[in-house]
Amino acid sequence: HGGLAFIDLRDRYGVTQIVFNPDRDADMHELARSLRAEDVIQVAGEVVLRDDRENEKLATGKIEIRAHELKVLNKSKTPPFEPGTSELPNEELRLTYRFLDLRSERLQEALKVRHRLTKLTRDYFDEHRFLEIETPILGRSTPEGARDYLVPSRVHEGSFYALPQSPQIYKQILMIGGYDRYMQIARCFRDEDLRA
């Protein structure tokens, strides 16, 4: 490749090939050659078509970026696993290094689907004149089916808040208060056996 350096830059949109030419900037070229997997960088450059060298394996395979500037924002240690590989490490390791796991295409797609479903739900209820109202997360313990998750009060020593198992009581308060069309994508916290 005539001394050119190539790196694959991954962001939430996919992988894009970056090209560093030593004739343009020898120091930047050397810096690019020193990069390791998962280093965090900032690149400025010119987006160009790849002519006849299209990479059909990449969604961005028709283009490449010819770098004008390169800045290393953070150097990475050798990661305990490669994000996005087909062979997943055990769950405990993935949770310990959650920031790496979040870089995988599998998790990024799941989060995008969740975002779209949430948006569709909100749009639907908005079109039908529902109000989205957030109800409190900390409240009084109420007898429901499962045990409460308790949060100690810093102000009232010996007292506890409970995380909601459902927004049922708040929903009833809102309806009595005149909000006939209320919706909420609620977080519910139930301390119960998985077999229940």
pLDDT surpassing 90 at residue 60: no
pLDDT surpassing 80 at residue 145: no
DSSP 3-state assignment of 71? strand
What is d(CA 135, CA 174) in angstroms, rounded to the nearest whole number?
A: 10
Average the pLDDT over 160-168 and give the result. Answer: 91
Where do the structural domains in the chain lie, given as residue ranges? 5-74, 80-128, 131-196
Q: DSSP code of 53?
A: -
Average the pLDDT over 173-195 and give the result. Answer: 89
Who has greater pLDDT, 61 or 111?
111
Question: What's the pLDDT score for residue 195?
Answer: 63
Neighbours of 20 (CB within 10 A): 26
What is d(CA 190, CA 145) in angstroms, rounded to the nearest whole number?
A: 8
**Beta carbons of 16 and 60 less than 8 angstroms apart:** yes
What is d(CA 134, CA 170) in angstroms, rounded to the nearest whole number?
A: 9
Question: What's the pLDDT score for residue 196?
Answer: 55
Looking at domain 5-74, its CATH superfamily turns out to be Nucleic acid-binding proteins (2.40.50.140)
Who has greater pLDDT, 46 or 55?
46
Judging by DSSP bridges, how do beta strands 63-74 and 14-20 pair with one another?
parallel
Helix spans in 57-104 (H): 91-96, 98-101
